[in-house]
């Protein structure tokens, strides 16, 4: 029986650094095609349900592509900020 306050698997979050980086890179690589395919599939299903072919099947992948591009820009900004923080020496922030 698990005791309160104690994690059941204490080392579960401590994954090797290389697997974390690989997981992030795979997620980024699948972001764009996954969003487009999902937009196509959902558009097709909604077109069949509402009998509006091919409008939703054309619009939803465009929206999905736009959203995926926005998320990719956020990833690039995130990694750019991380790289800048790693390359900058510790500075005195009290002078601001």
DSSP symbols for 10-36: TTTT---HHHHHHHHHHHHHHHHHHHH
pLDDT tens track of the chain, all 96 residues? 556 666 665 555 666 777 878 888 888 889 889 999 999 999 999 999 999 989 999 999 999 999 999 999 998 898 888 878 877 766 555 555
Within a domain: 8: no
Within a domain: 48: yes
Domain containing 67 equals 22-84
Within a domain: 35: yes
Within a domain: 38: yes
| pLDDT computed for residue 87 by the predictor | 78
Within a domain: 58: yes
Q: Look at the pTM and tell me if it is higher than 0.75.
A: no
Question: How far apart, in whole angstroms, are the C-alpha atoms of residue 38 and residue 84?
Answer: 34
> What's the length of the chain?
96
Give how many domains the chain has, as a whole number.
1
Within a domain: 90: no
Within a domain: 15: no
Within a domain: 53: yes
Burial class for 64, CB neighbours closer than 10 Å (0-12, 13-18, 19+): buried
| pLDDT computed for residue 48 by the predictor | 95
3-state secondary structure of 3: coil
């Amino acid at each position: 029986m698990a005791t309160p306050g104690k994690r059941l698997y204490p080392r579960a979050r401590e994954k090797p650094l290389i697997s974390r980086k690989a997981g992030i890179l795979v997620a980024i690589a699948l972001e764009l095609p996954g969003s487009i395919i999902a937009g196509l599939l959902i558009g097709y299903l909604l077109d069949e349900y509402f009998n509006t072919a091919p409008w939703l099947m054309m619009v939803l992948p465009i929206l999905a592509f736009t959203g995926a591009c926005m998320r990719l820009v956020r990833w690039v900004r995130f990694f750019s900020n991380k790289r800048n923080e790693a390359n900058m020496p510790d500075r005195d922030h009290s002078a601001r």
